[in-house]
Amino acid sequence: MRLATLANAAVVHTRRWVEHFRARGHDVRVFSLEPPWATGSSGDPGVVRLPAAPLPGALRYPLAVPRLKRELGRFAPDVVDAHFVPNYGLMGALSGFRPPLARVR
């Protein structure tokens, strides 16, 4: 299964979530405005860094949606999992991907 995770790539919870599904054979890609956790000199190749405008978070996330839409179109996921509703959940909803899946904290 192809899983797209919309989340802060620097957070250990995101890394654990992704590693769990990768270990079970799923193709997982993380889409994040934040830089990824370090796994060697090049980071995780399964992390797509979205552009982050130098604005407050409430504005940065919606402004990254056009790029997110393009990247999701290229990846063609079966499921989009957004961590968490106020930021990446909003991006997931604005992406138009159906059916939506968002985690509430």
- What CATH code is carried by the domain that includes residue 67? 3.40.50.2000
Range of the domain at 72: 2-103
CB distance 36 to 47 below 8 Å: yes
Taking only the tens place, the pLDDT of each residue in 31-70 is 999 988 765 545 567 999 999 989 987 899 999 999 999 9
Q: pTM of the full predicted structure?
A: 0.87
Total domains in the fold of the chain: 1
**What ranges in the chain are assigned the alpha helix state H?**
12-23, 57-63, 65-75, 90-95
pLDDT in tens, 4-41: 999 999 999 999 999 999 999 999 999 999 988 765 54
